[in-house]
Amino acid sequence: MRMISKTQIDDAVIWAVANQKGGVGKTVTTVNLAAALSAMGKRVLVVDLDPQGSASNNLLSGGAGWGGVYGVMRGEIGAREAVQKDQCAGIDVLAADEDLVAVEVELVGIVGREAVLAGRLEGIRRLYDYVVIDSPPTMGFLAINALVAADRVLVPIQCEYMALEGLTRLMATLDRVAALKGLERIKRMYVLTMYDQRTNLSSDVVREVREHLGGEVAKTMIPRAIKVAEAPGFGRTVLDHDPWGAASLAYRVLAEEVANVSRS
């Protein structure tokens, strides 16, 4: 694998939002963490690496349209040229669309295929304070590229039965990525999502997750809120759609936590 050049002090900190389980809040967390970091005055790029393009659709009315991360990964267009501006939150977006599914097959033979995205982002990371990568619900080529490109990984865990199920596999993948990058361990933060304070289930899950994962779990929990599910339908982030709601507040606090650990 090609060595990734050393991070400069003023380069963006790249976070991959990852969990091979679907529906745990990866996309919602990507979009709203990015919005909250942007609201703190940070320059933020969202990279949508899920062929479903949910983050792109949420942030860009009309979806990817052209270019996007597919062309960037294929080397047809520079990342800088492919970036689109989100209309309301002031976030830059490298959008995804269904074509992205094909990239895995198209890039099958190339050397260092796990580090394609990392290489493509090298040239633009100094333009941002944070890059947040949304990843697909499978541990294939795209998710590995997200993890290799990232300095840190944010793992949403939904407050539900068997919340920890599948995490062993994710951790094994993180160990593999650490080995690829010549690191001892991938730095990570877990965040509990869809927390419902009215149910015992949620508090049981919280206790179990904190017991197992300890200090790496964000202090902030993201509450379950109808406005969160509603916001993308309006083409808005939750911070725009329900600025004073509990979920917006939680994502703002999460952004503070993320900013605080990012340089450690």
Asked if residue 261 lies in contact with residue 219, where contact means CB atoms within 8 angstroms, the answer is: no
Asked if residue 78 lies in contact with residue 45, where contact means CB atoms within 8 angstroms, the answer is: no
Binding mask 159-188 for ligand ADP (x = CB under 6 A): ------------------------------
Q: Does 188 bind Mg ion (CB under 5 A)?
A: no
Q: Does 120 bind Mg ion (CB under 5 A)?
A: no
Looking at residue 215, what DSSP letter applies? G
> Which does residue 248 bind out of ligand ADP, Mg ion, none, counting CB within 5 to 8 angstroms by kind?
none
Q: Which of 12, 17, 20, 26 binds Mg ion (CB under 5 A)?
A: 26
Q: Does 42 bind Mg ion (CB under 5 A)?
A: no
Q: Does 25 bind ligand ADP (CB under 6 A)?
A: yes
Q: How far apart are CA 39 and CA 49, in angstroms?
A: 23
Q: Which of 57, 84, 145, 193 binds ligand ADP (CB under 6 A)?
A: 193
Q: How far apart are CA 251 and CA 68, in angstroms?
A: 26
Q: Shortest distance, CB of residue 126 to ligand ADP, whole angstroms?
A: 28
Q: Which of 181, 224, 241, 252 binds ligand ADP (CB under 6 A)?
A: 224
Looking at residue 152, what DSSP letter applies? E
> Which does residue 225 bind out of ligand ADP, Mg ion, none, counting CB within 5 to 8 angstroms by kind?
ligand ADP
Q: Does 22 bind ligand ADP (CB under 6 A)?
A: yes
Find, among 122, 112, 118, the residue nearest to 49 by Cα.
118
Q: How far apart are CA 247 and CA 253, in angstroms?
A: 10
Q: Does 225 bind ligand ADP (CB under 6 A)?
A: yes
Q: Does 222 bind ligand ADP (CB under 6 A)?
A: yes
Stretch that binds Mg ion, among 25-33, 61-69, 95-103, 143-151 (CB under 5 A): 25-33
Q: In what order do the strands lie in the sheet with 13-17?
A: 84-85, 92-94, 44-48, 130-134, 13-17, 152-158, 187-193
Angstrom distances, CA of residue 106 to CA of 79, 92, 205, 212, 238: 19, 26, 41, 39, 36
Question: Which residues lie near Mg ion (CB under 5 A)?
Answer: 26-27
Question: Which residues lie near ligand ADP (CB under 6 A)?
Answer: 22-28, 54, 137, 193-194, 222, 224-225, 228-229, 247
